[in-house]
A and B are shown apart, each in its own frame.
Chain A
Amino acid sequence: MRVPIEWLRDYCEPHMDAHTLAQRLALTGTEVERVERHGVMAVENFVVGHVLERKKHPDADRLNVCMVDIGGSTPSQIVCGAPNVAAGQTVGVARPGAVMPDGTRLGEAKLRGIASQGMILSERELQISEDHVGIMVLDDGVAPGTPLQDVLQISTDVLVLEITPNRPDCLGIYGVAREVAAATGAQLKPAPWEHDVGSFGELEGIEITNEAGKALCPRFTARILDDVRIGPSPLWLKARLMAAGQRPISNVVDITNYVMLLTGQPMHAFDYHRVAGRRLNVRRARPDEPVETLDGQTRRLDEQILVIADADGPTSIAGVMGGARSEVVETTTTVVSEVATWNGPTVHRASLKLALRSEASGRNEKGLQPEQTLWAQAVATKLFIEICGASVRPGTTDVGGPGPEPLTIRLRDARVSGLLGVTIPRERSGQLLHSIGFGAADAADGLDVTVPDFRRADVTREADLIEEVSRLDGVENLPATLPASHAAVGRLTPTQRLRRRAEDALAAQGLHEIVGWSFTGPELGNKLLLDSDTSVTLANPMSSEQSQLRVTLLGSLLDVAARNRARGTDAIAIFESGAVYEAESISTGHLPEEPHHLGALLAGPVRAATWRDQRPPRADFFAAKGVLAGLLTTLGVEWDVLPGQPAPFLHPGRAAIVLVGGEEIGWLGEIHPSVAAHWDFDGTVASFEIDLSAIAPPEPARFKDLVSFPAVNEDLAIVVAESVTTSELLDVVRQSGAPLVQQAEVFDVYRDEQRLGAGKKSVAVRLSYRATDRTLTDDEVARQRQFIVNALSHEFEGTIRAGE
């Protein structure tokens, strides 16, 4: 909403500059986006001139050399290219030194050899209209040299307001003036519609019906104006429209726009003689019914859209835009002035459906009040008479009438102080409410407040009144207190603490956390060989790459890894902690599951090369497994991996299923080279992803005495077939070694066909035997060892290699 200060002053003079006013408005609830200057930057050097003489330029057909009296002792010689310049005209002149709206400073110039002391102005040069075919001719009777600003608004500050959707009453200059008055204490002048020169009662000459009903069209009013003379609007009207952001067209159209900008109520002018059958009916459009709108386009409607139809069909899309068929033209002499109230959501849907937004639809969709229609009729009637020379027919058609009786709400003193935490005296509340048009009468425990019609939709409850009082009283200086609660207990849940520990554990191992997009697209599914049909899909994505929600963190990790590598980072160690989205439950009407995953990715050297370690190892399966081990050990959960092919995007020989507490919670592996190649990786990329939501926070650890009695350590070299996994081997060692074996770790794997035989390997295991209640004897250890040896022999035909 653009509010020219010059226009605002007609209704309220706040006696402060635009920036101070903007600040006051911001602190009472009207957001000011910015303050702009419309027109010239400074009014100096713009004066009224009388053209004394016009001669042809000797060397240029299109130029004239004029002598112009601008109030000085001698006339100024000005070269002018306008075809309409003539002796005897009163014009606007910019003297040398004038600063034009675009910021250029006028100097003395020579045009084709003739000196020019300034410029005779066109409307466009002053931003009064877009007219530039000729110079602007002013009314006679103004002395030369008079400052131009005295006869015409050539410069004003404009407040650009952001009006919140609950305040359509502020979508008009007068509504803003009311807020300005309340915010600054300045006097609000009477509303421009208070003296209506029109009359009420039956209007002859047109038949109005409302087939759509009162819910969709609460009020429809019309007046008829005869003897209308179509022509350009006066300069002051054009200047105001331009400052407010509307292009002047012709006097009748400009008046309808001016009325809308002033009252907030859109209106429309029909050419009476082009209304077929002299009747207008409000009805729902028929399916696919066409209508040609004012902008020359034919639009196809549906039954959700309201139209105003005459005997020949739709002539206007209700609340959105008028039709071409009955628009006002140069030959128009009689005008139907139509102002109606529309159901907001209906206009909103029509405007969406047709992708047609207008100043009118933007206001109508907020839901205006029926009383506003007569505001607009009153102002429009006055202007049609003054500007177009029109005469108004007696009577006003009024289908629907005014809105419901005003609501009276009790505003309890105790409730005001109870909600705000500060006391606002009842008298002060009353004054504040008065200043914005509310009635307030004393009651036993507060005020009985009457809501004005133009705030009917927004203010319906006591809380709404408290908001009005508090914003105008000023909330910027409220004291600061804290809730006096005895029941506020703050802590993280065990699951939230577990997540923090997990993230910290990965960062502690040198991985940087990334935050990827939840969005993904079918392209990623294709690259990862996943079935993307199971993804949550957006109805209105910004792009195909962002049309679904991710089912794995791997896409973000690969994207970020590839981007960093392309920018020169060789060693990649990153992780993400975030949700993935499982679409299955949507088909049953439920929300998707959103398990919280942790994913990590390693590529390139595991540590930086230095002058004494020039080729550090590159990340592979075991590097990723190390990070996973660090993570799960930190969390204190039992974990293991199983050989397997948990995901199609993994290297078939270097992939594993991650188990926690025996349950499958994720995968670990090197990315399949042909998958990694999509991200231009030619080396190894190792990664894992686990479902953190599937890990229960562990129980408190139980104390074990590992200090009082010494451990016995020994190494066993066990020869087994290649097919036996380390995990299987250790399981047997631990089971058969119980209860004395406390730890069993592999520290070497050795292959030698001649000494061990084909298809065999020797796995060296370091064992630690311990009892918690005694020092172990050699015999005890030997007996336990024999159990292990027997079990290995039984399970795997494993043998012990002696003497190594």
Chain B
Amino acid sequence: MSFETRITELQGEGKAAIAAATTSAALEDVRVRFLGRKAELPNMLRGVAELPPEQRGAVGKAANEARQALEAQLDARAGQLAVSELNARLQHDRVDVTLPADPLPAIGRLHLITQTRREIEDVFIGLGYQVAEGPEVESVYYNFDALNVSPTHPSRLMTDTFYVEPVSDIFDPETKLLRVHTSPMQVRAMELQKPPIYLIVPGRVYRPDSDATHTPQFHQIEGLAVDDGITLTDLKGTLLEFARAIFGPEREIRLRPHFFPFTEPSVEVDVSCFNCSGGLTAEGERCGICKGTGWLEILGSGMVDPNVLLHVKDNGYDPEVVQGFAFGMGIERIAMLKHGVSDLRLFYDNDVRFLEQFA
């Protein structure tokens, strides 16, 4: 058999073997069998030099072409097999995509009181107010006397105020108590800072009371603005901005005259109900949130009483020269109204299922 015939034969056998290989491993065997170090075709190529000169050219050329043809066929087949094998592996990797996802990273929440406090703080920071906090254990002087609370005012009683041991006389200005409001910071702040002053005071306050609408501990935000020419209409405008920022841009507010010892005139402030129009819901029912009145009481306020300013007259607060307004609101009350929380005690129960509701 001539070399050329054998080359043709090998090429044919190789082609058939490549076509017959169904896995990458089998194809690799074919490569070794036909083109490996010990295979016949490469040996022929290596032996061309030993052939008679007149045969060398033709045999060499034929063998080389055969090898290149086989290599090309091997590569092509390898490509085909790789694709089908990857497909097979991916099919095998199939998952039930309807199984649950990995859990979200744990998302903690700030307490609703903190969220509401910050929201209110940010409104007033935007209006030019600073934020200060005062002591929760206070003296009778700052909590009552400096705020023009008369000695007979019932809020001074042991039934209405927590006193701190030792107590010999609840009317002694030095006697310690748990502040019943954030208002003591009014005089404290004015002692430290000359006018003008624009300040809010968030913090814990305490009163001995416990039922669905009272907890012995709750939170307030006090506001104080004392400057030249501050008016009652400025109080209204400020609280209107506040009400709209917290309860929505459509809100109106209404002032109602009231009495507080440390403001004169004093007003309570109502915000128009966000759940209804004039006390009736869209369905024509009596609104349950404002009890059909169309208004929700949100805070107490007024023009700072001259007697309060007189306590800090020497620091620039002459009531004939400066005047201002003050207001105080309950953080829990604002949060309850805004989020529809039904029971004040939920704030202090701290059930995780309550806490995680407020984003």
Q: Could you tell me which A residues sit within 8 Å of B by CB distance?
A: 26-29, 31, 164-167, 344-345, 348, 352, 365-367, 418-422, 461, 463-464, 466-467, 470-471, 475-476, 478-485, 487-493, 496, 500, 503-504, 506-519, 536-542, 546, 549, 560, 563-564, 567, 569, 572-575, 577-579, 581, 586, 589, 591-592, 594, 607-608, 610-612
Contact = CB atoms under 8 A, between A and B. Distances in A.
A469 to B, nearest CB: 9
A345 B353 CA distance: 50
Interface bracket on B = 35 or more
A300 B355 CA distance: 53
A594 B164 contact: no
B131 A420 contact: no
Contacts of B99: 611
Given A482-B237, A539-B158, A542-B208, A490 B351 contact: no
Contact of A166 (B129, B136, B259, B267): B259
A649 B118 CA distance: 34
A366 B153 CA distance: 8
12 contacts: A29-B256, A164-B259, A165-B154, A367-B152, A421-B232, A483-B234, A485-B225, A488-B128, A513-B111, A563-B349, A563-B350, A575-B108
B349 A539 contact: no
B161 to A, nearest CB: 8
A94 B217 CA distance: 52
Contacts of A467: 257, 264-266
Interface string B59-101: 0000000000000000000000000000000000000000110
Q: Which 5 A-B pairs have the closest CB atoms?
A: A510-B106, A488-B128, A421-B231, A421-B233, A29-B257
B135 interface: yes
Contacts of A466: 264-265
B66 to A, nearest CB: 52
A469 B142 CA distance: 30
Contact of A475 (B154, B255, B305): B255
B311 interface: no
Given A31-B258, A479-B236, A536 B137 contact: yes
Contact of B103 (A542, A549, A579, A607): A607
B342 to A, nearest CB: 18
A182 B55 CA distance: 136
A631 B192 CA distance: 33
Contacts of A496: 131
Given A165-B152, A488-B129, 5 more contacts: A481-B237, A484-B229, A490-B124, A510-B107, A560-B350
A511 B355 CA distance: 11
Given A26-B256, A478-B255, A461 B216 contact: no
Given A471-B265, A514-B111, A538-B165, A491 B125 contact: yes
Nearest to B252: A480
A515 B350 contact: yes
Contacts of A594: 135-137
B236 A463 contact: no
A536 B238 CA distance: 38
A611 B257 contact: no
A667 B267 CA distance: 48
Nearest to A510: B106
Contacts of A29: 256-259
A307 to B, nearest CB: 20
B225 A480 contact: no
Interface of A is mostly: loop
B176 interface: yes
Contacts of B49: none
B241 interface: yes
Nearest to B167: A539
Contacts of A607: 103, 106
A164 to B, nearest CB: 4
Interface string B318-359: 010001000000000000000000000001111111011000
B281 interface: no
B316 interface: no
Nearest to B158: A540
B135 A470 contact: no
Contacts of B102: 610, 612
B157 interface: yes
Contact of B231 (A166, A419, A493): A419
A490 B125 contact: yes
B259 A483 contact: no
A470 to B, nearest CB: 5
Contacts of B234: 421, 481-483
Nearest to A500: B118
A433 to B, nearest CB: 14
Given A492-B131, A503-B114, A514-B355, A345 B152 contact: yes
A540 B208 contact: yes
Nearest to B236: A480
Contact of A518 (B108, B217, B229, B323): B217
Contacts of A592: 135, 137
Contacts of A481: 231, 233-234, 236-237
A583 to B, nearest CB: 9
A589 B137 CA distance: 12
A480 B352 contact: no
Nearest to A27: B256
B237 A564 contact: no
A488 B165 contact: no
B24 interface: no
